[in-house]
Amino acid sequence: MPKDVVAPLANPADGVNKAEARIRVYGVNLVADLPLAYWHYPSVGTPDLYVRQASPRSLAGEESACVYASDRQNEQGESWLLLYRGLEGDCLRVSGQVDFWLNGAAIGYTPWAGSAAVDIEGYLLGVVLAYWLELQGIPVVHASAALGPGGVVGFLSHSGHGKSGLAAALMAGGGALLTDDLLPLEERAGRFWGRPGFPTMRMWPDEATFFLGGYEALPRVHPDLEKRRIRVGESGFGRFCAETQPLACLYVPQRRPPDDSDPTISIEPLSPVEAMIELVRHSFVARLAQAVGLQPRRLDFFSRLVRTTPVRRLRYPSGFEHLPRVREAILEDAARLQP
């Protein structure tokens, strides 16, 4: 087995102790008492963070401490996500679903009536851990990434713009997945690195059919969605890299509309200013970070990153049949960029 691949922890549904999971995600050794639906890797050291169910707390009297309320609203007309700051840490509220209480090396979660464990896990692996990492000085961008020439090849994109498909295309060519959807970045002695996520991908049925030959037997991400969970690594699709890796290149993909018959694949460099704009635009929790005063630190981090790491715009045609050509173009481009 290659050095960068580790046997994954089984799905909790396969018999792993649901009372306490010890996993490593985004470079963090985490202990959680939450039943897990996604596939994860086991922790490899002393816990950095504990996630446990917490008793309900009142935010009464702290309304003035609400520093962020999302424009997106739920069916009741409430802001979908709110951030409160208090003397005992921060509270991230997913309205009608769950409260997360962040205080140093501990995150408590308080489910609301009717909330599902799989949804709580999804929020934890997304906005909650992204915000917690930002508090630790680890900026997080909305990207999927796989290993290519020289290290991490990442694709900066919002949902539905092809980043998972591009990462899967690299995996189909032998590259290992680093992360799907959320890429934490760190700096070590002037060099930039990408942290691994967890060995699970999420694909729509047509995408899963292209890469795996079918989708019907795959578990749904959510009972109300057609999107499916894909196990990565042993007994699954492709390989997974469980170690932090040097950042080789970031691409900003632009997939042409399906009715555009132009088969051309083009890759062009972005200026440092353009690259900065894309990094901010594709930050995972930029508004939360801004609400608590982290944005100047993040901008300084990104300004250093774009001076050393190539950021490129990738234009390519729609259609899964084009992905092998797109993969070869990316790999050739990334190889040329290596010193």
Residue 167 has pLDDT above 50, yes or no: yes
Residue 20 has a pLDDT of 85
pLDDT tens for each residue of 288-299: 999 999 999 999
Residue 215 has a pLDDT of 95
Average of pLDDT values for 281-310? 96
pLDDT tens for each residue of 128-159: 999 999 999 999 999 999 999 999 999 999 87
Residue 233 has pLDDT above 70, yes or no: yes
Residue 311 has pLDDT above 80, yes or no: yes
Average of pLDDT values for 89-117? 93
DSSP E strands in the chain: the ranges are 21-25, 28-32, 41-42, 49-53, 66-69, 81-86, 89-94, 98-103, 106-111, 140-148, 151-156, 176-179, 182-188, 191-194, 200-203, 228-231, 239-240, 245-255, 266-269, 311-316
Confidence of residue 15 (pLDDT cuts 50, 70, 90): very low
- Tell me how far the alpha carbon of residue 187 is from its chain's centroid: 18
Residue 2 has a pLDDT of 27
Residue 12 has a pLDDT of 36
Q: What percent of the chain has pLDDT over 90?
A: 79
User: Taking all residues of the chain, what is their mean pLDDT, rounded to a whole number?
Assistant: 90
Residue 61 has a pLDDT of 63
Residue 1 has pLDDT above 80, yes or no: no
Residue 62 has a pLDDT of 53
CA–CA distance from 38 to each of 49, 120, 121, 230, 336 (Å)?
Answer: 18, 12, 8, 9, 36
Residue 89 has a pLDDT of 86
Residue 11 has a pLDDT of 38
Residue 16 has a pLDDT of 37
CA distance 222 to 60: 33
Average of pLDDT values for 99-118? 93
Residue 223 has a pLDDT of 85
Residue 64 has a pLDDT of 54
CA distance 325 to 81: 40
Q: Which residues contact 221 (CB under 8 A, 6 or more apart)?
A: 122, 202, 227, 228, 229
Residue 57 has a pLDDT of 81
CA distance 111 to 98: 4
Residue 213 has a pLDDT of 95
